[in-house]
Amino acid sequence: MKWISKALIALVALLHVYIAWFEIFAWTDVGPEVFTTVDPELFAETTEIATNQGFYNLFLAVGLVWSLAIRDRQWSFRIALCFLGFVAVAGVVAAVTLTVSNGLPQLLSAAVAIVVTSISYRQESEGDG
Structural domain boundaries in the chain: 2-128
Model confidence band, residue 128 (pLDDT cutoffs 50, 70, 90): low
Answer whether residue 129 shows pLDDT above 60.
Answer: no
Mean pLDDT calculated for residue range 97-125: 94
Q: Is 106 in contact with 15 (CB distance < 8 Å)?
A: yes
Q: Which of 125, 118, 30, 33 has its CA nearest to residue 77?
A: 118
pTM over 0.85: yes
How far is the C-alpha of 111 from the C-alpha of 90, rounded, in Å? Answer: 12
Kindly report, residue by residue over 36-51, the tens digit of the pLDDT.
Answer: 888 999 999 999 999 9
